[in-house]
Structure 1
């Protein structure tokens, strides 16, 4: 469901009713006369809808984490806030960039529209920038020929929503300015080759085998992976994220019904 589109339609309807009454039907109405119910509702809700629409479109938008692909950084049920202007001011609904503000940086946690179905919002970490060569071999991430720093932290277990990660090993990873924790399951392959979709744009930029993959990121695109490296449906399977699909940068957990201690946690 495109909530931004719903807000926009509600904005047009309420504003249209208010404007039509001001210019046409309300011309001869006495100042102390009671407003028609529909007009009264429109006048009451239009300012509220307008403020919400502008905030969500240009400043901050809330999202809920539905899956475990970003464990341990983000847990299922986390409610997060996404900065909408860090990567440029965009027209709502059509997502057309108007003003260049900044570009995604390696290591950012980014919300984007899933290339295969833009009605779906995904969240992953930016691994590869335009022009980068990204490799993942034997659970080691390599960017432009240089292994990404990785240090063992310990074990991680998550139980909830029918998911049970018992054997996950955690590592501290450094990508650009970001120092974060990733989870690896030693027994899982770095990529399940037969699950790789064969028709995504720039598919020829990638090579796969049982030890991992290597991809060159095309201009205007980004390579995304989840922090739960062996249980994430990401760019290694369905390809690159074009700039036009970017929604914004995730920066804070603002609510979690099950773990109040996570509230206010900033996302690294």
Structure 2
């Protein structure tokens, strides 16, 4: 493998792929394709459908995502998980024997709360890396709600659901964008004049949106995301919180 191209595909909507991303995927010899179990088979199917929709004839090199050891401390758990993912990438590539560039479609953005670059750095030898951004989930969210990302001259803190759940509302924050929240940390926040803008399956036909004062919107969102996960087998969502909106 001479080159590994990480292509941001936004939230999976075909329109979130840039022209540069389309060009990279159509030129790639092999595309690495993660499989996350039968309950999330639709995620792999969406990636394949996206490839075919742009006329890519790249060979597919599937790999099964390893599970994290939930018993280990968080940072060690993630480090070992990344090691395991790099190992299955290497095996998939050994079988595929790529003759040209290898591409990997990254849900969201390769540089924003994503570990693909860290995993790629574990390959031996480390390939030449090229990153092509797509539409990020945060761009898709604010566009869907037709709101600005920040207030006038205001700052935005981007954090994870895990940190919001364990640490609460960040000190002195006005606007907080939350990624990777599988457990609905927003539901445990005190009201304190918070407003939430939430979205799932952004840009897709399945898109769901909700917004409002957090005391009113949180129960609706929790119910909607549980129903959507049950219906589709997976959910990708994110949200923005703002004080005094």
> Same fold by TM-score, threshold 0.5 exceeded?
no
Which one has more relative contact order, counting CA pairs under 8 Å at least 6 apart?
Answer: 2
Larger radius of gyration: 1
Q: TM-score, normalised by structure 1?
A: 0.27
Greater share of residues in strand:
1
Q: TM-score, normalised by structure 2?
A: 0.29
Greater share of residues in helix:
2
